[in-house]
Chains A and B, each alone.
Chain A
Amino acid sequence: MALIDTINPLLTTGWSKGDAGWSLKDYEARGGYAQLKRILASKMTQDEVIAEVKKSALRGRGGAGFPAGLKWSFMPKAAPEKYVVCNTDEGEPGTFKDRDLLRYDPHSTIEGMIIAAYAVGAKRGYNYIHGEIFDIYQRFEEALDQARAAGYLGERILGSDFSFDLFAHHGWGAYICGEETGLLESIEGKKGQPRYKPPFPANFGLYGRPTTINNTETFAAIPFIMGMGGEAYLNLGKPNNGGTKLFSVSGHVNRPGNYEVPMGTPFAKLLEMAGGMRGGRKLKAVIPGGSSAPVLPADVIMDCTMDYDSIAKAGSMLGSGAVIVMDETVCMVKALERLSYFYFEESCGQCTPCREGSGWLYRVVHRIEHGEGRAEDLDLLNRVTDNMMGKTICALADAAAFPVRSFIKHFKSEFEYHIEHKKCLVDPEVQRAGSGFFRASSAAGAA
């Protein structure tokens, strides 16, 4: 699905021609690779590039929101072999922005990675692409060939002393590889089980070498930041939340899709851009940052602006910018059951609290949903999450726990009704109609 609406487009400027605007000549026509040329021609120092990115307050777009410039500055200067890695293992339920970034404008990510490699002194890079979007992986390989043929990649780029080459690596179905050290293990040809941190990738990354790893959208923003300057980029958003951000809006809206808006845009505005609530139904809840982020009830989210700080203050996370919208036809127990199954299925099995805990969460939510819940189950669920959070190598256990705790916290009466009455508070026929599957036709998809 192409971009439908935007405010202050940067990342999405290349999307207007849909599938016809992704190739090198299109990217160059809209000013692409001009920043790389300028940096090399003017012999900007590595520190100058990093300073510009720091000034922009660009925060990691993959979910953690860590300042990108600061991350780059952690790379040891002297190390002979360093890597830059892009995380396009986009599997956080609700997130589908990086897929479109690479589909419609792969060269902005490539240019961003080359600039990053220049700034941190890396000679080789990889883009790890979600296995389920194989056509996007193939397109990215084609874009790499174009960049290589034009002299943007390879030995002595554009006649400078700087050499860098970039390759694509695909996943094959493992959510955990979106975790950065799991991803690095996966590139090394192993199970994608996360590593202990510290050491962080900046010291011990791919093949044990210093590695900078960022999300696709983070890299894609770099050419724009270098073009307009860090300060101008920062001013597009709000303090500490620089620039624009892609939001993937899914669920019960009239026009699901990707929307690029400045940080700090009111949620109500984003909802309006997405066409408002499907069928004019009432908003019930929103997960604002991908399925791992705590759910927020309608009245809370309607008062939020879309930036890291506002969403955090409301008790959730901006995460990857995946906005999952749920209307009044949703049974919150059933919704949570879907999510809990996901984390149970995708736990890598390495840490006992996560491997066993995610199973417990799923089985207990499942029995509540299926009319076999017990009075003590809500306490049990909270107790299991207590034994998971902060007790594992990576954050998947926390990601499994957050939905459970927040669904119970905000929609407790619905869970209690389920346990007491052995059925949904929301009429099953209403739920069935809510998905739109049975009355929709191809017209809905083409719109």
Chain B
Amino acid sequence: MNKQYDMLSPEALGKIDREVAKYPADQKQSAVMAALVIAQDEKGWLPKETIAVVASYLGMAPIAAYEVASFYNMYDLHPVGKYKLTVCTNLPCALSGGVHAADYVKEKLGIDFNQTTPDGKFTLKEGECMGACGDAPVLLVNNKRMCSFMFPEEIDKLLAECN
């Protein structure tokens, strides 16, 4: 095994291999989106060096992987807090309190969108449609956990749970 791949754990590389297996043998690049998510989950965010390692593992040019990482909204190209909260403020959510929920979180945490609390615990992001408009207000925790019907009481509870 090439030394540079030590940057990712054997578990992460195994997960990437499982993604690669979904595509035709000459189309490894198709696994780059999933591979970058796996790398981001392990590292907390995606430094350029990590993106380059993923690219090399899939036989892509580093710039091609960086293009993907910078195109899709949920890749973090800068460090984020332990909990990244993404609140949907699009119209259907806003009609049922999405913007107000974002304002409420801002006030509770004392930060604005794209900021991180001084203790490094929370980062707040403004999200676009998550495809859950019937459950508004909606927010995502660390990209993968969707929380529905986030009214003041539920937001308080969520923030208290995040340690």
Contacts and interface: CB of A to CB of B under 8 A. Distances in A.
A and B co-occur in one complex: yes
A188 B32 CA distance: 9
A135 interface: yes
Contacts of B152: 437-438
B30 to A, nearest CB: 5
A348 B90 CA distance: 18
Given A172-B73, A172-B75, A186 B131 contact: no
A222 interface: no
B128 interface: yes
Contacts of B129: 91-95, 175, 291, 342
Given A170-B34, A189-B60, A207-B27, A444 B92 contact: no
B134 A250 contact: yes
B39 to A, nearest CB: 12
Contact of A437 (B27, B145, B151): B151
5 closest residue pairs by CB, A with B:
A445-B149, A437-B97, A173-B73, A189-B29, A173-B74
Contacts of B12: none
Contacts of B133: 93-96, 248, 250, 256, 322, 324
A1 B60 CA distance: 41
Contact of B91 (A186, A338, A441): A338
Query: Which of A168, A171, A191, A435 has the largest number of chain B CB atoms within 10 A?
Result: A435
Contacts of B24: 124, 207
**B: contact size bracket:** 35 or more
Given A98-B131, A173-B74, A250-B136, A189 B151 contact: no
Contacts of A131: 72, 74, 143
17 contacts: A96-B131, A167-B23, A172-B37, A173-B74, A186-B33, A187-B30, A188-B30, A192-B72, A207-B24, A291-B90, A335-B91, A338-B89, A338-B94, A435-B94, A435-B95, A436-B97, A445-B154
Given A133-B130, A256-B134, A191 B91 contact: no
A99 interface: yes
A247 B92 CA distance: 14
Given A172-B74, A191-B68, A444-B149, A437 B131 contact: no
A134 B134 contact: no
Given A91-B130, A188-B30, A191-B67, 16 more contacts: A93-B91, A93-B92, A132-B131, A134-B143, A172-B73, A187-B30, A250-B133, A291-B91, A324-B92, A338-B90, A342-B129, A435-B99, A441-B151, A441-B153, A442-B151, A445-B135
B96 A251 contact: yes
Given A91-B129, A441-B153, A330 B95 contact: yes
A418 interface: no
A345 B33 contact: no
Interface residues of A, number: 68
A90 interface: yes
A1 B92 contact: no
A343 to B, nearest CB: 10
Contact of A99 (B22, B58, B132, B151): B132
Interface string A300-327: 0000000000000000000000101110
A172 B36 contact: yes
Contact of B22 (A169, A192, A438): A169
A297 B95 CA distance: 17
B3 interface: no
Interface string B15-33: 0000000111001011111
Contacts of B100: 432, 435, 437-438
Contact of B31 (A186, A189, A446): A189
Interface string A100-139: 0000000000000000000000001010001111110000
A339 B22 contact: no
Contact of A171 (B33, B98, B135, B137): B33
A133 B146 contact: yes
A190 interface: yes
B144 A135 contact: yes
